[in-house]
A and B are shown apart, each in its own frame.
Chain A
């Protein structure tokens, strides 16, 4: 069974979703929880069986799909994708478990299970077309979640979300087809397998164009400044569960794809674009932090802060060394946990008051002490307080980039600290002071169902903040091989110096062969 564990992880939720049409709608919630829990334990089993000392792909499966054109169903995991898959399974589970009163709950759960298939598929795919299939397919359930359960502007928000990402990824598709064509020219065979592409060494001018094509697809998904405008709408209108999954998992597709595609395929172009992207990332950190400060709606604050922290992930990725990339992958998970939790928390208060305006609250700490504590803790984690999960990732990302540029890192560091202001200000407005509104006086504190989702997140936040080694070690091994591969493939002198050599022997022979 372990040989096919990835395919099971991908298609089990989809199968369950189809069978779910038969389940009676009163029992649907239990069905959803059961399926998601099985999926989560399968994911844990994957972690258990995973060998953390191996840098390459594990549990690989290959089925021919369109062999004439080099398209095969290839899946596999390494340290980079493993934890994001587990995170996706985890969030779907607690997301379904904590689902409040929702209309059409059956459709919602079926949609979430389909979404889970596409999420796991994206992170497990090792063939560009299969990756693209899941990448595009993930838009459809999300479109439905935002469009059917969202706020008043939901249709505009969902269509904007879909079209933005769809347009970007079509440009990416052109890039992928180009890449396959280069492979065809070099070897006489079509192939969309990423591992095959890794062996291809392209001239710098081609690298730059292809990098741009892929970048447009990924950057819209992340979303990087100036392509971020769809995200506030999507978050603002999406139901709680939609925001949670969007922030925790879907955005990570973009940053993950940078590490899976852009860096190892185009090392020279990555170096070439390092500074422009770093500048964009820093603008993203500072600008969205400022915008977040100006928001009246707590959900928008969380949404913009989430964009802001995605900037740090990008910065770490484009440090192009082991510390930076490891940090950025760790931060992806940390960001998933923390911003997912924050969206949950916003959902909790929204369920009670049906408003997200901060001016409507105040003094909530008196009324809902447990809620205030958890919110405070998550907020500290979002700000990057040491001993919380975010700190580890942010620190490593910045440390990595410090090796490339002191000044930019300093700027980013200050921006993160300044970023704390809006979070603390928002917390002050909501929780401290006297209770000003009469409606707030009798709000019930978090209930059991909500705690079910929040307590595990709190535990993870603190546990991995104090002891991140179980994740970091595994991630590190895989990242080292990526960086080494980049160093070997790099053509220009500058790239060779920017990307450190680790003097470990991986794929060396195969890289030579392709040349």
Chain B
């Protein structure tokens, strides 16, 4: 006869679930509202989402306070792991989502925002990402990843353009493959060590001194491939430009930030012990991945004729740049990753939003695509302020000081030097120089070329409303005055990363 299971509620530490439950409850609330009264304006849902995320943010600050006092907290049968990485990445996820969601309040009507499901799915997705980063259990990571991804596929498809369906299906297929890889890799590690918890796996593997190195490597390759799909690392990047092109500019900007930070955290947890295991092959695989991703994406970005595709490749390149942090694997580099990504989310979301406010419903005859370079020719004459802000974001992405991303780049390169990766530091520096060209190209088009056809300037803010402008203003201010915040951010991040043992 089985003895009854006795679990005290205290030992479950259910408080660890609160930040994830808040968006889920919010999503359910939205669905319930829709059930009773289905003709609500999108602004209601946007504000509800903002409120929910705001509450979520406060809950996160709460758990940050707990972490500062008591260190890492485990909960729910030790499945949840609330350490510094989990808290930092959730801050980024929720913060970037709060910057994203007001972008739905566009001037023009877009199909997807008229459905409350969009907002419910959005919140479910956030909960998925939060689960993904707040655990070191491979199964829960998988569940979080799939919850978030499936929601995201739908969000893309709801944009309701030919290319959006293509993008969604492409992303779905690739994502399914990645999911397969992930489960296969997890299975191998489970077979090797009898556990699905990353710290258990690490302990077992180091105890038997990596005797089944062949199997470990196969497992790593599968996991790396699946994370590579999510992080759009070369050669698993092929879906990225198409998917970004197909989804709305705002969502593309969002996708370049939030899913990736979640994947970075998983990669950090996973490779932290593998890199320090002294297996040379692992380092070589990762090194090649990092360098290829940075360099190839940069070279492809050079030849793009559409700004959105250029930004898509550029964000692949940035992901490769940041992936270097995981290769270096020091406290400084891991802190640099978070610093970089926080600064990057401001700048990149800002630049995608600039595309978003210039979104036209119908394509004029002279334009090949929605955001071709030609469209921006001579923009400074038609709307100087918008052109200046766009140029600001481009300069920041290129790493021109004192704008936001320069500080991330600098700290990242410095961590490469400190970690003994001199050649990598040089490659990173030279890649920033190559990247300078395509960001400059847009500035050249905006400031130095004559317009292809006469615009009246409204084209560049066709979609603008006060909320959108506010978001862009926030992003611009964050980009310009980043240097004032870098010190506090750095202190905060370093404490959190260091106390989590990374």
Residues of chain A touching chain B, judged by Cβ–Cβ distance below 8 Å, are 64-69, 129, 132-133, 136-137, 139-140, 143-144, 147-148, 154-155, 158-159, 162-163, 166-167, 170-171, 173-174, 177-178, 180-181, 184
Contact = CB atoms under 8 A, between A and B. Distances in A.
B232 interface: no
Contacts of B487: 64-69
Given A68-B487, A132-B401, A159 B437 contact: yes
Contacts of A184: 418
Interface string B447-459: 1110000000000
Given A66-B486, A67-B487, A158-B448, A163 B433 contact: yes
18 contacts: A65-B487, A66-B407, A66-B486, A68-B490, A129-B401, A133-B402, A136-B401, A137-B400, A147-B444, A147-B447, A147-B448, A154-B448, A155-B444, A155-B449, A158-B448, A171-B426, A173-B429, A177-B410
B354 to A, nearest CB: 18
A147 B447 CA distance: 8
A171 B429 contact: yes
A117 B211 CA distance: 62
Interface string B482-496: 010011001100100
B386 interface: no
Contacts of B395: 140
Contact of B418 (A148, A155, A181): A181
Interface in B447-477: 447-449
B interface, over-half SS: helix
Contacts of B413: 173-174, 177
Which residue, B441, B447, B491, has most C-beta atoms of chain A within 10 A? B447
B410 A68 contact: no
Top 5 A-B residue pairs of the complex, sorted by shortest distance between their CB atoms: A167-B433, A133-B401, A170-B429, A147-B448, A177-B414
B417 interface: yes
Given A137-B401, A148-B448, A167-B430, A68 B494 contact: yes
Contact of A166 (B407, B436, B449): B436
A67 B398 CA distance: 25
Interface string B154-198: 000000000000000000000000000000000000000000000
A148 B426 CA distance: 33
Interface of B: 395, 398-402, 406-407, 410-411, 413-414, 417-418, 422, 425-426, 429-430, 432-433, 436-437, 440-441, 443-444, 447-449, 483, 486-487, 490-491, 494
B414 A180 contact: yes
A170 B406 CA distance: 11
B494 A129 contact: no
Given A137-B400, A162-B436, A155 B448 contact: yes
B426 A173 contact: no
Contacts of A64: 487
Given A136-B401, A162-B436, A170-B430, 14 more contacts: A66-B486, A69-B490, A129-B401, A133-B401, A158-B448, A159-B437, A163-B440, A166-B400, A166-B433, A170-B429, A171-B429, A178-B417, A181-B417, A184-B418
A64 B484 CA distance: 10
Contacts of A133: 401-402, 406
A232 B361 CA distance: 46
Contact of B400 (A139, A144, A177, A180): A139
Contacts of B491: 68
Contacts of A65: 483, 486-487
Contact of A136 (B400, B407, B418, B494): B400
Contacts of B432: 170
B447 A159 contact: no
A140 B411 CA distance: 23
Given A65-B483, A65-B487, A136-B401, A173 B410 contact: yes
Contacts of A163: 433, 436-437, 440
Contact of A174 (B426, B444, B490, B494): B426
A68 B426 CA distance: 24
B417 A174 contact: yes
A147 B483 CA distance: 28
B264 to A, nearest CB: 22
A137 B430 CA distance: 18
Contacts of B400: 136-137, 139-140, 166
Contacts of B417: 174, 177-178, 181
A181 B411 CA distance: 12
Nearest to B434: A167
A133 B402 CA distance: 6
